[in-house]
Amino acid sequence: MRKRKKLILKSPKETPGYKAWSDYVRTKISGIIENSIEEGNNKIYIYTNLKSLPLENINKVAGPFVEAWALELFECIVDNEGNEYKLINVEAGKRLDAFDIVLQFKRETEKAEYITSHVDVKATAEDIATSGRSPNITSYARIRNEYLKDPDYIFIVLSLKHKVYSERNKKTKMVQGTMEVVSFSVYDLKFVSSADLSYNPALGYGQLQIRDIHYVTEEIRTVDEFLRFLDAKYIKTHGEKKWLELAIKNEWVK
């Protein structure tokens, strides 16, 4: 019987400056969101002729509203040429993309560096205790392919916490609902600690989830260490045979 050749796992290596790029992107995003909150540019208004707003149900559909708010905020920044955040381009993700927004920054060093980051916006409700627990971030197979294709791939999780309140205008009789972004967190997925990142096998090839998006600690890893960490989670659930089939299908091995 003919023996199969020994398969060798591909080991991607990021650029030595990756950590500095990730820190730069997260600092700039944090500055943009923090400034918008401080200046009061953090509200989304909903007008309705209903007698009252079902606040709990509004929280259920908050994701698209908050995502749209974030996109417009970044677009306003990039429209200001020479802005202090060095944000030079903004694009909305497509329907099936793992991310919601692409942000490109220009980092001024001895030589200008252009940094692309892929941002997944997660909305959580301040007044719902379980909001932000184990949100789906991305597919295991999809994100593994992205990191293998580009070892410098920057995947950012932008968590935006909001609260909702409403009041009736006595003159117009319209109810104005206000969705207000009150706090935020910014994470590089590759650096989310082992204790905070979980794997849910129920969907497709499995979804990566953050146990509690409001309380995340950091663990610095190389891209190769991160992929092996993800592989171990998949193998623990499905076994090595299933993983090998997936690895051969996606060309993760030589």
Segments making up each domain of the chain, as ranges: 18-249
pTM of the full structure: 0.91
Write down the pLDDT at residue 131: 66
- Determine what percent of the chain is predicted with pLDDT higher than 70: 93
Instruction: Provide φ and ψ at 57, rounded to 5°.
Output: -70, -35
**Separation CA 108–CA 88 (nearest Å):** 12
> Residue 79: pLDDT above 90?
yes
DSSP track, 51-114: SS--HHHHHHTHHHHHHHHHHHHHHHHHHSTT-TT-EEEEEEPPTT-S-SEEEEEEE-SSS-EE
Mean pLDDT of the chain: 90
Write down the pLDDT at residue 124: 87
Question: The sheet that has 207-210: what strands, in order across it?
Answer: 136-139, 207-210, 197-200
> Residue 225: pLDDT above 70?
yes
Query: What's the average model confidence in pLDDT over 72-98?
Result: 93
Q: How far is CA 252 from CA 11, 66, 142, 200, in A?
A: 9, 36, 12, 21
* 8-state DSSP, 133: B
> Residue 1: pLDDT above 50?
no
Residue 2: pLDDT band (50, 70, 90) is very low
Query: What kind of architecture, by CATH, is found in domain 18-249?
Result: 3-Layer(aba) Sandwich (3.40)
